[in-house]
Amino acid sequence: MIKALIFDLDETLIGSKDALLFFFRQMYEHLGLPFPEDKAELFYTLPEKGFLELMLPDPEILAKAKRFKENFDPRLHLISLTLKPFVRETLAAVHGRCKLALATNRGPTTPAVLKHFDLERYFEYVVHARTLAEPKPHKIVVSTILDKLAASAGETLLVGDSEIDVETAKNGGVRSVIVGEKARPGFGDFGLPDLSGLPALLDKLEG
């Protein structure tokens, strides 16, 4: 029986890739640097914690980037985000049937994003990049959530969209459900084209 579901946020529940890339392209333009298009995927998949230090190791440039981030109007980011298809219907269908948690590598903006889309009411526990000592894919993320939800690894699925989500699930000993364009045989334990298929997958696993 599946008692708990752990959801990723960005590109699983909300569409944020374009908004994040816009923000970082603006930052690089402000810094007078070319945006590294060959590394674009890193800007919306790697943990927020320590990311700027990784990409901009020069102390002077890093300090300027942090000032840009601090002064950036968060409302511009929120209005650029979109809700993925079938999110509300799926969360409503599984809420109450399972305990729900959120595990994201987004930083402290996570509560504001959930509130913006009126999603916070669905989740019993939320882990973002700065909640614990380590972000995804460290095993502490899943183990902490399992403890908070009083669920075992065998009773839990992690629903996400990326390699980091697959790795997080493996490290935590839970099965993964990959949703969206990366869903394919052999990538994660289960794959769905979109979230609408999640209730039926639960029925199948519990049948």
Alpha-carbon span 78 to 73, nearest angstrom: 9
Amino acid symbol at 122: Y
Phi and psi, residue 185, nearest 5°: -60, 135
Q: Residue 106: which residues within 8 A CB-CB, separation 6 or more?
A: 9, 10, 16, 48, 113, 128, 129
- 3-class DSSP assignment, residue 173: coil
Tell me the average pLDDT of the chain: 95
Paired tokens of 207: 């049948």
Instruction: Give the SS3 label for residue 109.
Output: coil
Q: Retrieve residue 4's tokens.
A: 């708990």
Quote the percentage of the chain above a pLDDT of 70: 100
User: What's the CA gap between 118 and 121, in Å, rounded?
Assistant: 7
Q: Check: CB of residue 114 under 8 Å from CB of residue 126.
A: yes
Q: How much is the pTM?
A: 0.89
Summarize pLDDT for 86-144 with one digit per residue, the tens.
Answer: 999 999 999 999 999 999 999 889 999 999 999 999 999 999 999 999 999 999 999 99
Separation of alpha carbons 17 and 11, rounded Å: 7
Name the band, by pLDDT with cuts 50, 70 and 90, for residue 66: very high
What is the rounded distance in angstroms from the CA atom of residue 139 to the CA atom of residue 184? 24
Residue with tokens 């890193």: 42
Query: Encoding tokens for residue 125?
Result: 């526990």
Per-residue pLDDT tens digits for 35-55: 999 999 899 888 888 899 999
| pLDDT score at 7 | 98
Tokens of 75: 């409302």
Contacts of 198 (CB under 8 A, 6+ apart): 5, 90, 93, 94, 159, 177, 179, 192
Using DSSP bridges, classify how beta strands 14-15 and 82-83 pair: parallel, antiparallel or unpaired.
Answer: antiparallel
The alpha-helical segments, DSSP class H, found in the chain are: 17-31, 51-55, 59-71, 74-78, 87-94, 110-116, 139-149, 163-172, 198-206
